[in-house]
Amino acid sequence: MPQDLKLKAAQKRGIHQLGGDELVGWDEVTQGVILTSFEGDASDIAHKKAEERNYSDFNSYTATVAPWRVIKPVFNRDICIDCQNCWVWCPDSSIISRDKQMLGIDYDHCKGCEVCSQVCPTNPKSLLMFSEYEELDVALSQWPEKKKKEKK
């Protein structure tokens, strides 16, 4: 399933809104608003995949920063050719891809900018924009047919 990778992080500590629900007093905030990105020693994280890293609650990996999205990209696995174009262009690292296989969208961080859909080269596109409130299976059932090339 596309969201598996994010769910791993969510199960660990829960995806939360940036800023958090636990509002502490002035005596408990960090000195200088300096925030650690990882729990514990992070010396050997460079070669680890994101879902294997021990991100702290201060890191935006464990926080959703997408509540203001109004349209969302929907991914159609049946058409995708795993070209990785969307993964390269996404400005928010919200295309989840492993071993050069496109897995889906990280909806906790996607802002709905539509770049992935624009750069998708398949016919019809494997990524299309729908209303934030559209159910995924409904969106997939409305997928357009392949466009025929017009003869000149």
Q: Which is nearer to other proteins, 37 or 97 (CB)?
A: 37
Residue in 1, 11, 33, 100 binding other proteins, rule: CB under 8 A: 33
Report the DSSP beta bridge partners of residue 127: 75
Q: How far apart are CA 140 and CA 130, in angstroms?
A: 10
Considering only residues 11 through 30, tell me which ones interact with other proteins, judged by CB under 8 A. Answer: 19, 23-27, 29
Give least dist CB 45 to other proteins, A. Answer: 9
Among the listed ranges 5-13, 38-46, 72-80, 104-112, the one in contact with other proteins (CB under 8 A) is 38-46
Q: How far apart are CA 125 and CA 116, in angstroms?
A: 10
Q: How far apart are CA 46 and CA 52, in angstroms?
A: 11
Number of residues that bind other proteins (CB under 8 A): 19
- Start-to-end C-alpha separation, the chain: 42
Any contact of residue 145 with other proteins (CB under 8 A)? no
Give least dist CB 52 to other proteins, A. Answer: 16
Instruction: Region of 97 please: left (phi>0), alpha (psi -120 to 50) or beta.
Output: beta
Considering only residues 48 through 107, tell me which ones interact with other proteins, judged by CB under 8 A. Answer: 58
